[in-house]
Amino acid sequence: MTNRLKKIFAVVIPASAVLAAGAAWFVTRLPASSFEKTGSQEEPSAQLVARGEYVSRLTDCVACHSVPGGAAYTGGLKMVTPMGAIFATNITPDRETGIGAYTLADFDRALRSGVAKDGHRLYPAMPYPSYAKLSDDDVKALYAYFMKGVPAVHQENRESTIPWPLNMRWPLAFWNVVFAPSDVYRPDTSKDAQWNRGAYLVEGAGHCGACHTPRSLAFNEKGTDSHSAAFVSGALIDGWFAPSLRNDPNTGLGRWSEDDIFRFLKTGRNDHAVVFGSMTEAFNNSTQFFSDDDLRAVAHYLKSLPGNAQRDGTPWKYEPTQAAVVQPAGRQGIPGAQTYMAKCSFCHGTDGRGQGQWVPPLAGAASSLVPDSSSSINVTLNGSGRVVAAGVPDSYRMPSYREQLSDGEIADVLTFIRSSWGNRQPPVAKGDVKKLREQTVPASSSPVILKTR
C-alpha cells in the first residue's frame, strides 16, 4: 500500500468509527424528558388520577390499545402497514408485560418522543408526533391514571410481522428528527384562549391529524398545525376516506356551524352526518366524553381553518330527484336507481336527504362529494358500527350489504347516489368495490366501549 493510501485510511477509518459510534449513540439514546429529575413520586392524588382519566379520553388511548373482548389497555390491535402488521402493546401497569416498571420520565419519552424504556423507537402508528404537544401537566396526570387508575393485566405483547431488515427500528430516530415535532404546544398569542385550547386538542391530544391529514411517502403527516393547508385536509386510511375538517365548501366542514360540530362530537350526529367508519370508535370512546367547553373549543378552532374552494369547485346545491326515479317503470332504465329505491330510500329518503339528525343525508354529504369513493363503498359493504351516545345505543344503523349486493350492484347504486341531488362525482368502479370487499370485514354491532368506572 502506498503511503498516500495509508494516510487516507488512517484518517478515514477512525473517522468512520467515530461517525458510526455517534450514529449508534444517536439512534439508541434516550431523548430528554422534563421529568428526568423527578424522583420516585409520592402517591398521586385521586384528583390527579381522575384528571388523567379525562386526558385519556382526550387522547383516546383505548382506541388502539384494546381489542374487542380483551381487557382495557392490554393492546393487541392489529395495524396493517405496507411492510407488515404491527400490534398495539399492553399499557396496563403490569410490571413484566405492561408499563408497570416505567418511571414518569420513561412514560413521557414513550408518549411524547416515541422511545420505549429500553430505547427502541416506536412506530409512528403511535401518534407521538401529536402527543409531543401535550403539556407536562397532562402527561403527569395521564401517568398517574395509568399507574393507579388502570388495573394491571399480565398479557404478552405480540411480535410484529414486519420482516428483517425492515423491522429495524433505529432508522426511526432519523425519521423523528425530520418529521416529528418535539415541542409542547405553544399558544398562538394572536388568537384567543378558546382557539388555543381547540388547537391543543385537535393538533395534540385528540391527534385528529393521524387520520384526517394526508401522509407523504415517508408516512409522515403532511402538516401538523394550522399553518399548513394540508393539516386535516382529508386522507385515505384503512379503507375509509377521513374527510377534511377544514372549511372546504363541499368536502369539508364549510356548511357546518360551530354548533353543528359541537353536536356531532357530543351526540354522534347532526343534520349533516352521523359518525361512521373509524369515527364511530373515536366518538364512542373519546369525543363524547370531552367537556362541553373542550368541544366548543374544538369547533371554534376547526371553523378557523380555511378550506380550498378551488379544489372543491362549484359549491354543492341540492337538486330534486329526477322524476323518473320515483316511477316504478322509470327507474328501471337508470342504473342503480332501482337498488336505491328498494334498499336505500326507506332510510335515506327518495329525496336523498335522510331523516333529520337520525339518518344522514346522502345529498351533499362529504362522502358523496369527495372524489375518493372508499367511504361510500366501505359503509355499503360493511355497514356502520353501533353508535352509543351517553350509554344509549342508536335506533338506526346502516346494515351491511356485502351478502346482498354484488360488486356491480354496489358500484351502480353508488354511482347513482354520487351523481344525484347535486352530487357530481364520476362513476364508481366495480373493481374498487371488489378490492375493498376483499380487504374489509363487516362492522361489529357490539362495540368496545371502555367503562372507566
Binding-site member from 329, 390, 391, 403 for other proteins (CB under 8 A): 329
Q: Does 313 bind other proteins (CB under 8 A)?
A: no
Q: Does 347 bind other proteins (CB under 8 A)?
A: yes
Please state the closest distance from residue 136 (CB atom) to other proteins, in A.
Answer: 43
How far is residue 276's CA from residue 55's CA, in Å, rounded to a whole number? 24
Structural contact between residues 428 and 415, judged by C-beta atoms closer than 8 angstroms:
yes
Q: Does 341 bind other proteins (CB under 8 A)?
A: yes
What is the size of the binding site for other proteins (CB under 8 A)? 18
Q: Identify which of residues 242 and 341 has a Cβ nearer to other proteins in the complex.
A: 341
Phi-psi region of 170 (alpha: psi -120 to 50; beta: other; left: phi over 0): alpha
Please state the closest distance from residue 149 (CB atom) to other proteins, in A.
Answer: 34
CA distances (Å), origin 346, targets 175, 339, 413, 451: 50, 11, 14, 35
Q: Identify which of residues 251 and 339 has a Cβ nearer to other proteins in the complex.
A: 339
Q: Does 342 bind other proteins (CB under 8 A)?
A: yes
Q: Does 393 bind other proteins (CB under 8 A)?
A: no
Binding-site member from 397, 420, 423, 433 for other proteins (CB under 8 A): 397
Q: Identify which of residues 145 and 340 has a Cβ nearer to other proteins in the complex.
A: 340
Q: Does 387 bind other proteins (CB under 8 A)?
A: no
| Residues 6+ away with beta carbon under 8 Å from 77 | 64, 65, 66, 67, 87, 88
Please state the closest distance from residue 381 (CB atom) to other proteins, in A.
Answer: 15
Segment 37-56, which members bind other proteins (CB under 8 A)? none
How far is residue 372's CA from residue 374's CA, in Å, rounded to a whole number? 6
Binding-site member from 90, 155, 338, 382 for other proteins (CB under 8 A): 338
Segment 398-417, which members bind other proteins (CB under 8 A)? 399
Stretch that binds other proteins, among 186-194, 230-238, 246-254, 391-399 (CB under 8 A): 391-399
Q: Identify which of residues 359 and 369 has a Cβ nearer to other proteins in the complex.
A: 359
Stretch that binds other proteins, among 94-102, 113-121, 177-185, 389-397 (CB under 8 A): 389-397
Binding-site member from 9, 219, 318, 358 for other proteins (CB under 8 A): 358
Stretch that binds other proteins, among 165-173, 178-186, 223-231, 331-339 (CB under 8 A): 331-339
Binding-site member from 9, 174, 318, 346 for other proteins (CB under 8 A): 346
Stretch that binds other proteins, among 84-92, 133-141, 154-162, 393-401 (CB under 8 A): 393-401
Phi, psi of 359 (to 5 degrees): -125, 125
Q: Does 327 bind other proteins (CB under 8 A)?
A: yes
Please state the closest distance from residue 444 (CB atom) to other proteins, in A.
Answer: 15
DSSP string covering 362-394: STT-HHHHSS--HHHHHHHHH--PPPEETTEE-
Binding-site member from 162, 223, 396, 425 for other proteins (CB under 8 A): 396
Q: Identify which of residues 16 and 327 has a Cβ nearer to other proteins in the complex.
A: 327
Please state the closest distance from residue 321 (CB atom) to other proteins, in A.
Answer: 14
Binding-site member from 97, 278, 355, 425 for other proteins (CB under 8 A): 355
How far is residue 350's CA from residue 348's CA, in Å, rounded to a whole number? 7
Q: Does 331 bind other proteins (CB under 8 A)?
A: yes
Binding-site member from 84, 171, 306, 356 for other proteins (CB under 8 A): 356
Please state the closest distance from residue 401 (CB atom) to other proteins, in A.
Answer: 10
Please state the closest distance from residue 416 (CB atom) to other proteins, in A.
Answer: 14
Phi, psi of 221 (to 5 degrees): -70, 135
Stretch that binds other proteins, among 1-9, 154-162, 353-361, 406-414 (CB under 8 A): 353-361
| Cis ω for the linkage preceding 442 (within 30 of 0) | no
Contact positions vs other proteins (CB under 8 A): 327-329, 331-332, 338, 341-342, 346-347, 355-356, 358-359, 395-397, 399
